Structure 1
Amino acid sequence: MKFIISLLAIVTLTGHANTTVIHNVNGYTPIYKGDTQQFSSLVFKDGKVVKIGDDTLKNNFPDATLIDGKGRTLLPGLIDAHGHVIGLGDNLSQLDVRGAKSIAEIAKKLTTFAANNQQDWLIGRGWNQELWNEKNFPNATDLDHIVSDRPVVLSRVDSHAIWVNSKALEVAGITAETEAPEGGEIIKDQFGKPTGVFIDKAEQLITQHMPTPSQRDISLSLDAAGQHLLSLGITSTHDAGIDKNTLQVYKARSKQGNLPLRIVAMLSAASPDFKTMLAAGRYDDIGDFMSIRSVKVYADGALGSRGAALLNEYADRPNHHGLMLESQQQLEALFTLSFKNGFSANTHAIGDKANKIVLDAYENVFKKTGGILLRNRIEHAQIVTPNDIPRFKTLKIIPSMQPVHATSDMHMAEQRLTESQLQGAYAWQTFLQQGSVIAAGSDYPVELANPFDGLYSAITRMDHRQLPEGGWRATELLSRDEALRAFTLGGAYAAHQEFKLGSLEQGKWADFILIDKDYFTVPVSEIFTINVEQTWIAGELKYQKQTH
């Protein structure tokens, strides 16, 4: 399908001097504090929405540029409230072993990758031992057979563990005597020898020796990630934890006016430059392409690597409770510092112990320092005790959740956790019912960035084969409308942008997408197959699917 006028003509004609009407669309938009509305025409000017209505609307704008939407479905641009932009861009050029069913399959991919890449370090990500028959952590020797002359570093799919070869151990000076830092674990064999797997803060023992990417590298990764996200209908993304180099690139690109999409960046509290970045103050550009007003704090690890901090022991690892990366006292110090600089705190917490400690820390700091109105968040909020869920509402904490984690984790979660521990797991509907605003995302590149995967997971709690039938712990699934709101207005609210983004209401930015199926009426089994045909930001066409 092609529009009557060309892509170049559209971009030229929709320069901000002209009013544009896109008509003959099957449009839907959530309304802030209102019901979802349907429309068949959208009018925008100077990058912002003028009006939505029926197809007679174009008669009110006789001088407008008219675009025929060919009956396609139009939705507001989707917002991913938790991703890792540069990590995604890097991942597109690194070894990708996501979905590999065995070490042998990974070895085969590494063989090809090593032959085609001359870098000093070979870097990749995506392994998941839960997909292998043995389900055990791998070993450095598994990689040594393929590459022994260069360090190899492969991140686990959740980024909370790395698997390295013996050359990497040698370069980093890792021996049996090496001790893990607090908040980390070095997996060792029965003789006390490091196996090549490092969890959470122990990763730094290796990663500190890796080459530092240049600002040009970061900029190239930004562009690669941006194009990928635009092709998926994402017009705005929250970047969960950036370092000083990335901050400098983002600000420079913002001032040049050439960011590929809207970015809400969180300063990484784990960065050695954290205080320097905070002192530079909040940042917003005039077109709302770049917003920096929050920090990313890390409380615990991930469930897959058994680093998520639990109140009770892991069902499949006796006497192990996971890892707290910061103590409650350290969390309170980070929150206080953030709030005093006017930044909200968005804290990674997956296990029920981590969620409880983070809530306790927020509560204490709110009493002493204030900050309750900054729209602080808990990122992931995956395993929460039923007693702690209401505290999110009381403390005005936004649960920033990634629906696809539930469908990726469901089988593994049932091995790791008891039924009692699962009572408050991935509890989206419970959060909504108490009046919490859910900001939905994907946690790309941990998961695939496609938001229609996330929408499908939220609505069904099933995998792509539609299993388990009826959905996993189905009382927590969302309606199509609730899911779309979480991926639009929820993310906008979490970024203090609900009056600018997230819906196609008058005066908001004209960020929208055209898709090939009707999200609200297509069979539920097809939601994850929806393709984006066009992505528009501020009334400008930023992506068009190629037709062959």
Structure 2
Amino acid sequence: MYKLVRKYLFVYLGALLLLTQCSRQTPADLVIKGGKIYTADESNPIVEAVAVTGDKIVFAGSEKDVARFTGDKTKVVDLQGKTMTPGFIEGHAHMMGVGYNELNLDLMNVKNFDDIVAKVKEAVSKAKPGQWIVGRGWHQDKWDVKPEKLVKGFPIHTKLSEVSPDNPVFLWHASGHAAFANAKAMEVAGVSALSKENIKQGNTEGGEIIRDELGNPTGLFNERAMTLVARNIPESTAETDAQALDLAIQACLRNGITSFHDAGVSRENIALYQQFKNEGKLGVRMYVMITGYDRDLMYEWFKKGPAIDSAHILTIRSVKLNCDGALGSRGAWLLEPYTDRPDFSGMATLSMDTVLKTSREALKHGFQVCSHAIGDRANREILDRYETAFKEHPEVKDHRFRIEHAQHIDPKDLPRFAGLGVIPAMQAIHMSSDRPWAIDRLGEKRIKEGAYRWQSLLKSGAKIVNGTDAPVEPINPISCFYASVTRKTLKGEPEGGYEPEEKMTREQALRSYTIDAAYGAFEENIKGSITPGKLADFTIFTQDIMTISEADILKTEVAMTIVGGKVMFGE
């Protein structure tokens, strides 16, 4: 009997010792607690505390249980009632554009054409003779006062030319799909009432030079016609490119952006990103879409294959195709003519044969295709080409091809996204900014049946990748989150929102900026939710964006941005 008791006592003590050893935990490098933490992990949606070792999450649970991860050298961040989410992922924007928007004239908040003229006049006073004045951000449909004379909805260059007779001026529309030039810029480009080079009835292939009734150019260049002027602008220098990239990274971190899907990147900028990565200065995780404008570059990458970064800092595995224009410039390619310009249906800016050929090659070489399409015809034509390519390559089971913007879709094509496994990368803030005037472009029926159909796409089974298209819109995700869940302008109009049945829930909006955005880059297994084993990327907000009133969402600020367990903004 004694031997039996002794045997069981040894077993008990051994088990107790093993349990004690298992309960000991190596202290984490970072512990965050003291506020509500939304994980975007359906199995564990809200936690009280998170622990991080290195750049990975090791614990997400209760504040009581996180105590065993806290040691003498553990950095502890007390949220003090603030709210934390997975790091926000900018799903479609232009990194260098964000940086250069801070270096050049920022026209995003101008109220009318006279404001633009005043800004240009001030810039001319500081410029050297002959120096180009460039900027971006104006949008004629947002002006409080329109000029007396408009041609096809746009002003003429006269006032701009008067304040800058010796300095060429080129100002990109907010969308990036049109630009305005003064007389000096057009003179440098060789564009005049009589110029015929590359011009057919006022147009270039895939573009348009808007002219008045006498054939004089008004200064507005639409889509590919912009290149007639833009190719004369002196190229940026390595120094200014580096400065712009640094400014863009800091802008991301100030706004809680930990990852960035860069929509259309040149050879030179890829090299710059690689340089910044090697120097430890990139700061934000980059998912790069190679520009389809440079076919040589694209095919070079097809030949050598995707670059999937094991450090998850700079990954290159997709290409960006620009297939139509924007609603603001009436370049979006429509099935039926514009309501406010019945002689015009927009245009394809890339051959659909090229879309099909590129899709085939991408599938062969392991690349994702991301095609810009705003108009309903562009969306349909691209879905058709994708579908053909998928059928030809049934061996590719997980392509995750995307349509960037997917802004206006014929109702018949809405279920095709989920059916084909195509991801709509949609920027909710565009609805907030564009919906008040977009109804003039499309008319009430087309707006209500096919524009900004977020909830319909989600219910069909599609995953939406959200973002801002910065510098088209400010990179601030709070405004975009607000637009997603309210479908209102940033002034809070209209009551109830536009087409309120298409609002996202707050959970859906959070997913579109976190786990679903990660899915859009094949990265949902390494980031996008606060789950042990994933990257420690977090955004901390001053308020609980998941529960506060709609009106208070826009009062929220980013308090801290953490990338790979390191505090990159705020403290």
The equivalent of 2:138 in structure 1 is 127
Give the % identical residues.
36
1:99–1:471 distance in 2 versus 1, CA, 3 Å:
same
Q: Does structure 1 retain, via aligned residues, the 8 Å contact 2:108–2:174?
A: yes
Q: Does structure 1 retain, via aligned residues, the 8 Å contact 2:59–2:66?
A: no
Instruction: State which drifts further: 411-420 or 271-280.
Output: 271-280
The equivalent of 1:113 in structure 2 is 123
Residue number among 382, 386, 389 corresponding to 2:414 in the alignment: 389
Q: Deviations over 1:65-89 (max 9, x none)?
A: 3332222211111001000000010
The equivalent of 2:432 in structure 1 is 407
Q: Does structure 2 retain, via aligned residues, the 8 Å contact 1:510–1:536?
A: yes
The equivalent of 1:267 in structure 2 is 290
Q: Does structure 2 retain, via aligned residues, the 8 Å contact 1:138–1:163?
A: no
Look up the SS of the partner of 2:46 in the other structure: strand
Q: Does structure 1 retain, via aligned residues, the 8 Å contact 2:306–2:316?
A: yes
Instruction: State which drifts further: 19-28 or 401-410.
Output: 19-28
Q: Does structure 2 retain, via aligned residues, the 8 Å contact 1:372–1:395?
A: no
The equivalent of 1:320 in structure 2 is 344
The equivalent of 2:185 in structure 1 is 168
Look up the SS of the partner of 2:45 in the other structure: strand
What is the letter of the counterpart of residue 147 of structure 1?
S
CA distance in 1, matches of 2:218, 2:500: 39
CA distance in 2, matches of 1:427, 1:69: 36
CA distance in 2, matches of 1:268, 1:396: 23
Q: Deviations over 1:27-85 (max 9, x none)?
A: 11111xx2562112110101100011111123212424333222221111100100000
Give the Å deviation of 1:206.
1.0
What is the letter of the counterpart of residue 22 of structure 1?
I
Q: Deviations over 1:256-303 (max 9, x none)?
A: 332121111100101254333444432132320111100000110000
CA distance in 2, matches of 1:163, 1:449: 24
What is the letter of the counterpart of residue 495 of structure 1?
A
CA distance in 2, matches of 1:278, 1:154: 35
Residue number among 399, 404, 412 corresponding to 1:374 in the alignment: 399
Residue 96, structure 1, aligned to residue 106, structure 2: yes
Residue number among 371, 381, 385 corresponding to 1:357 in the alignment: 381
What is the letter of the counterpart of residue 174 of structure 1?
V
1:165–1:490 distance in 2 versus 1, CA, 3 Å:
same
Residue number among 518, 521, 526 corresponding to 1:500 in the alignment: 526
Give the Å deviation of 1:339.
2.5
Residue number among 234, 239, 259 corresponding to 1:211 in the alignment: 234
The equivalent of 2:154 in structure 1 is 137
Q: Does structure 1 retain, via aligned residues, the 8 Å contact 2:87–2:514?
A: yes
Instruction: State which drifts further: 463-472 or 485-494.
Output: 463-472
Q: Does structure 1 retain, via aligned residues, the 8 Å contact 2:170–2:182?
A: yes
Residue number among 51, 61, 69 corresponding to 1:53 in the alignment: 61
Q: Does structure 1 retain, via aligned residues, the 8 Å contact 2:487–2:497?
A: yes
Look up the SS of the partner of 2:96 in the other structure: helix
Give the Å deviation of 1:357.
0.4
The runs of at least 4 consecutive aligned structure 1 residues that moved more than 6 Å come to none
Residue 38, structure 1, aligned to residue 46, structure 2: yes
The equivalent of 2:34 in structure 1 is 24
- Write out aligned runs for 1:75-474 (5 A): 75-118=85-128, 120-132=131-143, 133-134=145-146, 136-176=153-193, 177-178=195-196, 179=199, 180-271=203-294, 273-370=297-394, 371=396, 373-422=398-447, 423-474=449-500
What is the letter of the counterpart of residue 569 of structure 2?
Y
CA distance in 1, matches of 2:285, 2:240: 20
Q: Does structure 1 retain, via aligned residues, the 8 Å contact 2:506–2:546?
A: yes
Give the Å deviation of 1:439.
0.5
Q: Does structure 1 retain, via aligned residues, the 8 Å contact 2:91–2:517?
A: yes
1:277–1:148 distance in 2 versus 1, CA, 3 Å:
farther
CA distance in 2, matches of 1:313, 1:243: 34
Q: Deviations over 1:196-225 (max 9, x none)?
A: 111111111111111112333222211101
- Write out aligned runs for 1:525-540 (5 A): 525-540=551-566
What is the letter of the counterpart of residue 141 of structure 2?
E
CA distance in 1, matches of 2:241, 2:397: 34
CA distance in 1, matches of 2:473, 2:44: 28
Instruction: State which drifts further: 285-294 or 494-503.
Output: 285-294
1:209–1:277 distance in 2 versus 1, CA, 3 Å:
farther
CA distance in 1, matches of 2:123, 2:559: 32
Instruction: State which drifts further: 511-520 or 119-128.
Output: 119-128
Give the Å deviation of 1:472.
0.2
CA distance in 2, matches of 1:61, 1:390: 47
What is the letter of the counterpart of residue 384 of structure 1?
I
1:45–1:196 distance in 2 versus 1, CA, 3 Å:
same
Instruction: State which drifts further: 68-77 or 275-284.
Output: 275-284
Give the Å deviation of 1:334.
2.1
CA distance in 1, matches of 2:301, 2:232: 23
Instruction: State which drifts further: 166-175 or 400-409.
Output: 166-175
Instruction: State which drifts further: 260-269 or 51-60.
Output: 51-60
Instruction: State which drifts further: 214-223 or 77-86.
Output: 214-223
Residue 516, structure 1, aligned to residue 523, structure 2: no
Look up the SS of the partner of 2:84 in the other structure: strand
CA distance in 2, matches of 1:117, 1:282: 43
Residue number among 504, 515, 530 corresponding to 1:489 in the alignment: 515
Q: Does structure 2 retain, via aligned residues, the 8 Å contact 1:17–1:46?
A: no
Q: Does structure 2 retain, via aligned residues, the 8 Å contact 1:83–1:442?
A: yes
What is the letter of the counterpart of residue 160 of structure 2?
L
Q: Does structure 1 retain, via aligned residues, the 8 Å contact 2:28–2:69?
A: no
Gaps of 5+ in 2: 1-25
What is the letter of the counterpart of residue 168 of structure 1?
A
Gaps of 5+ in 1: 1-15
1:372–1:123 distance in 2 versus 1, CA, 3 Å:
farther
CA distance in 2, matches of 1:174, 1:497: 47
Q: Does structure 2 retain, via aligned residues, the 8 Å contact 1:72–1:517?
A: yes
Q: Does structure 2 retain, via aligned residues, the 8 Å contact 1:254–1:285?
A: no
Count of aligned residue pairs for this structure pair:
528
The equivalent of 1:480 in structure 2 is 506
RMSD: 1.7
Instruction: State which drifts further: 313-322 or 217-226.
Output: 217-226
Q: Deviations over 1:352-385 (max 9, x none)?
A: 0100100011111112245562210000001101
The equivalent of 2:19 in structure 1 is none
Look up the SS of the partner of 2:416 in the other structure: helix
Give the Å deviation of 1:434.
0.9
CA distance in 1, matches of 2:240, 2:365: 30
Q: Does structure 1 retain, via aligned residues, the 8 Å contact 2:298–2:319?
A: no
1:62–1:474 distance in 2 versus 1, CA, 3 Å:
closer
1:85–1:389 distance in 2 versus 1, CA, 3 Å:
same
CA distance in 2, matches of 1:372, 1:66: 43
